[in-house]
């Protein structure tokens, strides 16, 4: 695809720019000079308004582990449409879905459904404060937990300093309560917690997805579990990406570390909007109406998202070889790309990225060392080859069950050609 000749997309963007800030509904989509507009999607492919078919390695930033418009999820949604799509009352889907999710996650005795991952982390942080009676939170530099105030903190402001807002409109008084430590650095966490007894929780993506994948070093997650426990600090695993991506039970199951609270989103909605937070029973019992920590939502637990979610989780459970197949697809791509020099391929199952850096980064500072000038050139060449990668050097790329051997071969060839 040649971005100069997409007449329909450029016209749509001209109109959108006047009506919507930046012309888009979420900042990362504002590709320059204008984004392509998608009018259809199936399997591993996107179809643009100008009639071009692209191989998709963004997969809506993670939710679509089964690919676009999966027929089984589609028919579950269609069947539910007949029965209505919003009740405003409890539905039988809720206990059914809650049973699946708590059954899969060692760290979740109870769960509350919400409508996005951002909402889930916002509520989990409030709950951690409500449970511990403490004020501060610690997050990981480069970790992303959605677009709300407490977590919109400038990265790289250092372990012992107070947080600095990463967005206009966020009060510095508020982010002063958010501290940051580097990933894969248990000593830095220990130092912050030793100095500050007012920390309610550490919130962490167990595998850094939003600048990655950046993988946990051996023993790191177990170590931070020990440290948080020793300081009476809750451990929140933000598994919005890793949940059902790195396997059933997410990173907590894969790495054998039990957090106090877990947030989920993305895959559990089967492509429809969703979020969830859950954790130890004694903590979750503080959530309203059972307890004093308020949380509510008009669309929470809506029957359509839950239908798609249940169908997806059922599919993941029933297709025993699915994660093995995803691993094999990932490996095939990795081997197909091979060693191109000047960069490195990092992968965990179906999460991957080619970093413009000679060795795999271990934290945000090392990710920032990537060749930021080379990436946009490479990205544009890939798009011209009809391959859509997330339009940011920092986002994780995803494979789905729908990526065929043919897609993977085309991808590997394109990487070699465009690098
Ligand atoms: C995507 C994401 C979120 C935010 O989820 P939304 O549904 O976009 O609000 C939170 N945490 C992590 C780790 C994410 O990847």
Using the mean position of ligand 1's atoms as its centre, give its distance from the Cα of residue 277 in Å: 12
Say yes or no: 272 and 325 in one domain: no
Q: Which ligand 1 atom sits nearest the alpha carbon of residue 119? A: 9
Any atom of ligand 1 within 6 Å of the Cβ of 206: no
Residue 156 is predicted with a pLDDT of: 64
Q: CA 387, 64, 344, 412 torsion: positive or negative? A: negative
Average of per-residue pLDDT across 101-129: 98
Token code pair at residue 415: 């990487």
How many CB atoms within 10 Å of residue 158?
Answer: 14
Most distant CA atoms of the chain, gap in Å: 60
Residue 161 is predicted with a pLDDT of: 60
Any atom of ligand 1 within 6 Å of the Cβ of 238: yes
Residue 341 is predicted with a pLDDT of: 82
Say yes or no: 30 and 102 in one domain: no
Residue 320 is predicted with a pLDDT of: 85
Residue 51 is predicted with a pLDDT of: 95
Q: Which ligand 1 atom sits nearest the alpha carbon of residue 275? A: 7
Residue 122 is predicted with a pLDDT of: 98
Using the mean position of ligand 1's atoms as its centre, give its distance from the Cα of residue 413 in Å: 31
Using the mean position of ligand 1's atoms as its centre, give its distance from the Cα of residue 406 in Å: 31
Per DSSP, the residues of 164-196 read: -BSSTTS-HHHHTTEEEE-TT-HHHHHHHHHH-
The total domain count for the chain is 2
Say yes or no: 59 and 105 in one domain: no
- Domain end among 255, 285, 317: 317
pLDDT at 3 over 80: no
How many CB atoms within 10 Å of residue 35?
Answer: 22
Q: Give backbone dihedrals phi and psi of 396, rounded to 5 degrees, phi first.
A: -70, 145
Helices (H), ranges, 29-116: 71-82, 93-104
| Averaged pLDDT of the chain | 95
Using the mean position of ligand 1's atoms as its centre, give its distance from the Cα of residue 117 in Å: 4
Domain residues for the domain of 356 are: 3-69+320-418
Say yes or no: 181 and 262 in one domain: yes
Q: Which of these ranges, 209-218, 220-229, 369-378, has the smallest mean pLDDT?
A: 369-378
pTM flag (> 0.95): yes
- Domain end among 285, 317, 349: 317
- Pocket probe for ligand 1: among 265, 273, 397, the residue whose CB has the most ligand atoms within 8 Å is 265
Any atom of ligand 1 within 6 Å of the Cβ of 145: yes
Any atom of ligand 1 within 6 Å of the Cβ of 211: no
Any atom of ligand 1 within 6 Å of the Cβ of 245: no
Any atom of ligand 1 within 6 Å of the Cβ of 397: no
Using the mean position of ligand 1's atoms as its centre, give its distance from the Cα of residue 272 in Å: 13
- Domain end among 275, 298, 317: 317
Any atom of ligand 1 within 6 Å of the Cβ of 116: yes
What letters, b where the CB count within 10 A reaches 16 and e where it falls short, cover 265-294? Answer: bbbbbbbbbbbbbbbbeebbeebeeeeebe
pLDDT at 258 over 70: yes
CATH number at residue 97: 3.40.640.10
Any atom of ligand 1 within 6 Å of the Cβ of 205: yes
Average of per-residue pLDDT across 364-380: 92
Any atom of ligand 1 within 6 Å of the Cβ of 183: no
Say yes or no: 57 and 167 in one domain: no
CATH number at residue 413: 3.90.1150.10
Using the mean position of ligand 1's atoms as its centre, give its distance from the Cα of residue 197 in Å: 28
């Amino acid at each position: 695809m040649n971005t100069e000749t997409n007449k329909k997309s450029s016209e749509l963007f001209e109109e959108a720019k006047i009506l919507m800030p930046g012309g888009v509904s979420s900042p990362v989509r504002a590709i320059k000079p204008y984004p392509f507009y998608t009018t259809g999607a199936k399997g591993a492919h996107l179809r643009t308004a100008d009639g071009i078919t692209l191989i998709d390695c963004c997969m809506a930033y993670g939710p679509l582990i089964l690919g676009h418009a999966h027929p089984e999820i589609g028919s579950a949604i269609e069947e539910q449409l007949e029965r209505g799509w919003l009740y405003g009352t409890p539905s039988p889907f809720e206990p059914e879905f809650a049973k699946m999710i708590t059954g899969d996650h060692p760290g979740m005795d109870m769960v509350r459904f919400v409508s996005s991952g951002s909402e889930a982390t916002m509520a989990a942080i409030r709950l951690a404060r409500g449970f511990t009676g403490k004020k501060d939170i610690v997050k990981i530099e480069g970790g992303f937990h959605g677009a709300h105030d407490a977590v919109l903190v400038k990265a790289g402001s250092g372990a012992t300093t107070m947080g600095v807002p990463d967005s206009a409109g966020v009060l510095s008084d508020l982010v002063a309560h958010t501290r940051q430590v580097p990933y894969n650095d248990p000593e830095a966490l220990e130092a912050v917690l030793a100095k500050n007894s007012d920390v309610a929780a550490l919130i962490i993506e167990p595998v850094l997805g939003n600048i990655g994948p950046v993988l946990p070093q051996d023993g790191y997650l177990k170590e931070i579990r020990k440290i948080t426990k020793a300081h009476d600090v809750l451990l929140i695993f933000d598994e919005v990406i890793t949940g059902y991506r790195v396997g059933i039970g997410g990173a907590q199951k894969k790495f054998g570390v039990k957090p106090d609270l877990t947030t989920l989103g993305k895959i559990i909605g089967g492509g429809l909007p969703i979020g969830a937070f859950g954790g130890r029973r004694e903590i979750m019992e503080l959530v309203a109406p059972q307890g004093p920590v308020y949380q509510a939502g008009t669309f929470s637990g809506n029957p359509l998202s839950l239908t798609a979610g249940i169908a997806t989780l059922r599919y993941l459970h029933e297709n025993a070889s699915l994660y093995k197949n995803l691993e094999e697809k990932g490996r095939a791509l990795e081997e197909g790309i091979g060693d191109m020099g000047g960069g490195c391929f990092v992968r965990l199952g179906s999460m991957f990225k080619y970093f413009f850096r000679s060795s795999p980064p271990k934290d945000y500072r090392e990710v920032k060392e990537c060749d930021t000038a080379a990436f946009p050139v490479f990205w544009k060449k890939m798009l011209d080859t009809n391959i859509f990668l997330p339009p940011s050097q920092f986002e994780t790329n995803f494979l789905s069950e729908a990526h065929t051997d043919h897609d993977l071969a085309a991808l590997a060839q394109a990487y070699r050609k465009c690098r």
